[in-house]
Amino acid sequence: MSFREYLKTLRNNNLLVEIDDKTDLELSITKQLQINKEKATLFTNIKESNYQLIGNLITSKDQLGKILKTQNLYHNKFQGYVKNPKIPEKIEFNPTFKNEITVNLFELPIPKFFSSDGGRYLTAGIVFAKFPNSEEVNGSIHRIMIIGKDKGVIRLVPRDLFQIHEENSKSGKDTSIAIIVGYHPAIALSISFQRPYGESELPLANALMNGTLKTAKTPKYGIEIPAETEFVLEGKISATERHKEGPFVDITGTKDTVRTQPTITIEKIYHRDNPIFQTILPAYEEHFILMGFPREVQIYERVSKIVKEVHGIYLTAGGCGWLHAVISITPEKTRCTKNIGHAAFAAHPSLKWCTLVDKDIDIYNRKAVEWATITRAGEGDIVVINSVTGSSLDPSRNKMNNTTIKVIVDATKKGEQKIEEYERIIPF
């Protein structure tokens, strides 16, 4: 399924709305994406650009189910794809390269989301770069603040692209990149799942897309990317030039730290006929799913080795899709809840809070989870681990050494004799 076929599926399932009124890129896009937070939203009339813009491509379990072709067992299904990747077919002709335009980032529909942001931000671009001394590519999503017609500042976190850039910079080389915009969400889910360094995420994306993904090399730098995307931007991350990046409202809904980050220069822009640009609204459901869902899968894999029955894992919206995991299990006779919590922290090191509940608690229902926490967690059921490395996105961390607390809450039923005392009689 291509990007355009996915849009057709959303439209046919009443999961797409179109905004035909003239919409301004400064703050107005944010308002409409917030209003339509569970539906893909297509802006057909952008004041500052001739291109259409879409956001909220994957903001609900309904949309996730359309991609994974299941309405439950999301993590188990995704894990199956991880274990059975498929090499995509390489093609020569890519319709994305049919049109080349003059480089001017200000003419693209790149929004300013919040008044406190440092500028307009490209948030949906998947950045592809070759691993040093290899034709294999890494793909990853990075926010890019626009500072000129052909210039941006990229936020590099210490993961694969950061390491690729570091290695190239030591040799005095810029890092050649290709940024795709307007792609099937299966590609975004795949590149958000951390693979071993040196391995491409494209075979995982192809598995999710049932072997239909095709790839092509970019004209200037020969970087392998998914074919039939809406836009491709080729350029370089500078080995030496840096610029202040931020402020930016990140996944916690708070302003992230202003940092000095590498600059990028865009040298070529290509697009399909009648292309649609893409954005991701920060600190809302799509941001949570793309960052959180792959971590849920990793937690599921670790926890499943400790307890036989894992019914679901949810990185909660209240926990910013990142910091709080609710894990539904059937506890075994030998208590292992502390081990489950530690396994979750090992799978997702940024995780701060882990709540364990029984199968009868709906992990997506905040009221049910809080009820279980209050009525089933008693003396000795809450473990607080102090002074451990946490997420750089957590505003409450110790900013001197990036440490925080980690908490395990065992909100499962306990005690063979009085188990009925934990049963809820009335519905939520």
**CATH 2.30.110.10 placement within the chain:** 3-281
Give the pLDDT band of residue 245 (cuts 50, 70, 90): very high
Residue in 376, 147, 122 with CA at minimum distance from that of residue 263: 147
Element (H, E) at 169: helix 160-170
- Average confidence (pLDDT) over 197-211: 95
Mean pLDDT of the chain: 93
Looking at the predicted structure, is the pLDDT value of residue 417 above 70? no
Tell me the per-residue pLDDT of 64-91, one tens digit each, with 9 for 90 and over. Answer: 888 887 777 678 889 899 999 999 999 9
Tell me the per-residue pLDDT of 381-400, one tens digit each, with 9 for 90 and over. Answer: 999 999 999 888 889 999 88
Give the pLDDT band of residue 286 (cuts 50, 70, 90): very high
What pLDDT is attached to residue 145? 98
The proportion of the chain whose per-residue pLDDT surpasses 90, expressed as a percent, equals 84
Whether residue 322 contacts residue 299, with contact meaning beta carbons closer than 8 Å, is answered with no
The strand pair at 214-217 and 89-90 is best described as parallel
- Average confidence (pLDDT) over 356-361: 95
Q: Is the dihedral of CA 29, 30, 35, 39 positive or negative?
A: positive
- Average confidence (pLDDT) over 360-381: 95
For 171-274, where are the alpha helices, taking DSSP H only? 185-191, 202-208
Distance CA 243, CA 241 (A): 7
Distance CA 49, CA 338 (A): 53
Catalytic residue from among 150, 160, 174, 250 = 250
What pLDDT is attached to residue 49? 97
Whether residue 205 contacts residue 228, with contact meaning beta carbons closer than 8 Å, is answered with no
Using the structure block, give the residue that is written with the tokens 């049910």. Answer: 368
Phi, psi of 147 (to 5 degrees): -125, 0
Q: Which residue has the higher pLDDT, 422 or 217?
A: 217
Q: How far from each other are the two terminal CA atoms of the chain, in whole angstroms?
A: 39
- Average confidence (pLDDT) over 52-74: 84
State both tokens at 156.
Answer: 């590099």
Most distant pair of Cα atoms in the chain: their distance: 74
Looking at the predicted structure, is the pLDDT value of residue 42 above 60? yes
Looking at the predicted structure, is the pLDDT value of residue 124 above 80? yes
**CATH 3.40.1670.10 placement within the chain:** 304-422
Catalytic, 250? Answer yes
CATH superfamily of this structure's domain 3-281:
Electron Transport, Fmn-binding Protein; Chain A (2.30.110.10)
What pLDDT is attached to residue 334? 57
Looking at the predicted structure, is the pLDDT value of residue 192 above 90? yes
Looking at the predicted structure, is the pLDDT value of residue 147 above 70? yes
Tell me the per-residue pLDDT of 98-108, one tens digit each, with 9 for 90 and over. Answer: 999 999 999 99
Tell me the per-residue pLDDT of 289-313, one tens digit each, with 9 for 90 and over. Answer: 999 999 999 999 999 999 989 999 9
Looking at the predicted structure, is the pLDDT value of residue 412 above 90? yes
Question: Per CATH, is 304-422 categorized as 3.10.20.30?
Answer: no
Tell me the per-residue pLDDT of 153-184, one tens digit each, with 9 for 90 and over. Answer: 999 999 999 999 999 999 999 999 999 999 99
Tell me the per-residue pLDDT of 10-29, one tens digit each, with 9 for 90 and over. Answer: 999 899 999 999 999 999 99
Phi, psi of 47 (to 5 degrees): -60, -45
Phi, psi of 74 (to 5 degrees): -55, -45
Residue in 30, 112, 46, 43 with CA at minimum distance from that of residue 284: 30
Buried b (16+ CB within 10 A) or exposed e, 102-124: ebebeebbbbbbbeebbebbbbb
